[in-house]
Amino acid sequence: MHEPRLWKDKGWTARVIKNDDDEGWAVAMFKEGEPEPALVGPWTMGRDKKNPKPLDVNAFNTLIKTASEVIRRHEQQLHAQLNKSLMVSTDDADYKILLKIIPDEDDPYAYLIAEDAAGEQIAQVKVSPHYKLNRNNALTWIENAFRRPE
């Protein structure tokens, strides 16, 4: 579907809409199957200064690229919020300590994981999703033989 105010192609839909904030126009980009737009931004007025400029293939492709980048950045930010790690050295060994948060709607939780220098997992315990991963807590966990923190 390629209409002046509505394009559907390549798993995306671009819809030119009236901008409620002012007298201009906006464009909303929806990824197929998603209820909320991935991107909403201002849209150019047409030559008559009343109606929006019609969508075209170049604008649509640019919108897809921009909306895809917004989604990618959002996914990276979410991953960083849910996955933390740090390196800890003791007299005996070097460890990578990871905290992986599982954002379950009803009962969120997290896993505290220890890996050795070769990347082999040597311990895993379930902890609160609010567990604070820092150097002191990691060292205490190691010193307590990887028992579940209280």
At residue 126 the predicted structure's pLDDT band, cuts being 50, 70 and 90, is very high
pLDDT beyond 80 at 20: no
Q: Which residues are registered as beta bridge partners of 110? A: 101, 127
Residues across the chain: 150
82 C-beta neighbours (distance < 10 Å), count: 15
Evaluate whether 14 touches 60 at the Cβ level (below 8 Å): yes
Distance CA 97, CA 115 (A): 6
**What does the pLDDT look like over 73-118, one tens digit per residue?**
999 999 999 999 999 999 999 999 999 999 988 999 999 999 999 9
DSSP state of 24: S
Half-sphere exposure of 64 (CA within 13 A, CB side): 15
Domain boundaries, the chain: 6-80, 90-143
Assign 35 to helix, strand or coil. Answer: coil
Q: What is the mean pLDDT of residues 52-77?
A: 95
pLDDT beyond 90 at 23: no
pLDDT beyond 80 at 21: no
